[in-house]
Amino acid sequence: MTELHVTQLGQVVEPAASPDQAVLERVPNPQSDVTYLARFVVPEFTSLCPVTGQPDFAHLVIDYAPGDWLIESKSLKLYLTSFRNHGSFHEDCTVKIGRKIVEIAAPRWLRIGGYWYPRGGIPIDVFWQTGPAPEGLWLPDQGVAPYRGRG
Burial zone of 77 (CB within 10 Å; 0-12 exposed, 13-18 middle, 19+ buried): middle
Q: Which of 33, 56, 93, 125 is catalytic?
A: 56
Active-site annotation holder among 20, 33, 49, 92: 49
Q: Has 63 been annotated as catalytic?
A: no
Distance (Å, rounded) from C-alpha 123 to C-alpha 145?
12
Helix (H) and strand (E) counts for the chain?
2, 6
Q: Provide φ and ψ at 68, rounded to 5°.
A: -80, -15
In the residue annotation, 93 being an active-site residue is answered as no
Residues taking part in catalysis: 49, 56
